[in-house]
């Protein structure tokens, strides 16, 4: 079950965190994995790890916010692989601040990556998928469903991701393309560790425990747990699933509201 043999998967933001976990798991399950990331060191390291384990892993440096770059990368992947069967739109950035503390530059920066970046990858890869069918997973967030303090721009962007997910699922169902989204709660990634170290120096352990306890289950998710859900949604076992958002949040949405 949950095999991805003979599938080509494109994973944005695959050089670290959740994207890295997805890339490694998809490779172990038989997919040829193409990692799109701005982080050249991280992206190459993940691709190398896949190759060392006997899989096919390719890194492509690309800024998903620039459509011309995405177009060129997608063209090269289709040329080399022959098809694209899976897209995981995982690349994203964060911003801390309420409406008044969100400058125009902050708003535009979030929109460029979290909204336009997803649009760009969908815009270039969906026409390729129409030839063979395919599966798309977009990374949203619990912030798209509930109010989270000081996450104005981030919440806005993830709400847009769910809107795009539903639209693509509806418009391309007859072309054999499924599209779903995942809404994680807090996940323990290098980003979280860096955020705590930067904003709470000397209080890292205390703040980590405080953030962990905001999930009713009492801890943050691990990247592998998000990857497992992405694997299911991209596998043939989920062939009847499209147009859905899947919270994976330790009870955050339902048990905190």
Q: What is the mean pLDDT of the chain?
A: 96
Q: What count of residues does the chain have?
A: 257
Residue 256 to residue 220: CA distance in whole angstroms: 15
Asked whether the beta carbons of 59 and 40 are under 8 A apart, the reply is: yes
Q: What's 220's DSSP letter?
A: P
Q: Give pLDDT, residue 190.
A: 87
Q: Give pLDDT, residue 214.
A: 87
Q: Give pLDDT, residue 198.
A: 86
CATH 3.40.50.720 fits 8-185+227-247, yes or no: yes
Instruction: Note the pLDDT tens digit of each residue in 168-193.
Output: 999 999 999 999 999 999 999 988 89
Beta strands in the chain, from DSSP E residues, in sequence order: 8-12, 32-37, 57-61, 86-89, 134-139, 177-184, 245-248
DSSP string, 13-80: TTTSHHHHHHHHHHHHTT-EEEEEES-HHHHHHHHHHHHHTTS-EEEEE--TT-HHHHHHHHHHHHHH
The domain limits of the chain are 8-185+227-247, 188-220
| pTM for the whole structure | 0.96
Q: What percent of the chain has pLDDT over 90?
A: 93
pLDDT at 21 over 60: yes
Q: Is 87 helix (H, G, I), strand (E, B) or coil?
A: strand
Residue 100 to residue 37: CA distance in whole angstroms: 31
Asked whether the beta carbons of 184 and 249 are under 8 A apart, the reply is: yes
pLDDT at 257 over 70: no
Angle CA(59)–CA(16)–CA(208) in degrees, nearest 5?
175
Q: Give pLDDT, residue 195.
A: 82
Could you list the active site residues? 154
Report the b/e string of 125-144 with b at 16+ CB within 10 A: bbebbeeeebbbbbbbbbbb
Q: How far is CA 47 from the centre of its chain?
A: 17
Instruction: Note the pLDDT tens digit of each residue in 122-140.
Output: 999 999 999 999 999 999 9
Residue 147 burial (CB < 10 Å; 0-12/13-18/19+)? exposed
Residue 59 to residue 166: CA distance in whole angstroms: 29
In this prediction, residues 34-42 reach a mean pLDDT of 97
Q: Label residue 75 left, alpha or beta by phi (over 0 means left) and psi (-120 to 50 means alpha).
A: alpha
Residue 121 to residue 204: CA distance in whole angstroms: 36
């Amino acid at each position: 079950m949950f095999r991805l043999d003979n599938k080509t998967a494109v994973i944005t933001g695959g050089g670290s965190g959740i994207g890295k976990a997805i890339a490694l798991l998809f490779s172990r399950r038989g997919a040829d994995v193409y990692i799109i990331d701005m982080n050249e060191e991280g992206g190459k390291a993940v691709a190398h790890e896949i190759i060392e384990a006997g899989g096919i892993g390719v890194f492509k440096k690309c800024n998903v916010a620039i459509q011309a770059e995405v177009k060129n990368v997608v063209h090269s992947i289709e040329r080399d692989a022959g098809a694209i069967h899976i897209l995981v739109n995982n690349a994203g950035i964060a911003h801390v601040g309420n409406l008044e503390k969100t400058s125009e530059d902050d708003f535009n920066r979030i929109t460029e990556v979290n909204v336009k970046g997803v649009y760009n990858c969908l815009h270039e890869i969906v026409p390729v998928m129409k030839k063979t069918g395919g599966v798309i997973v977009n990374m949203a967030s619990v912030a798209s469903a509930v109010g989270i303090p000081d996450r104005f721009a981030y919440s806005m962007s993830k709400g847009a991701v769910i809107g795009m997910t539903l639209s693509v699922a509806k418009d391309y169902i007859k072309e054999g393309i499924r599209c779903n989204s995942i809404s994680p709660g807090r996940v323990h990634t290098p980003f979280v560790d860096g955020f705590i170290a930067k904003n709470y120096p000397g209080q890292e352990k205390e703040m980590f425990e405080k953030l962990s306890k905001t999930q009713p289950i009492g801890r943050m998710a691990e990247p592998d747990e998000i990857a497992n859900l992405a694997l299911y949604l991209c596998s043939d076992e989920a062939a009847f699933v499209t147009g859905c958002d899947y919270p994976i949040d330790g009870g955050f949405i339902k048990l905190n509201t």
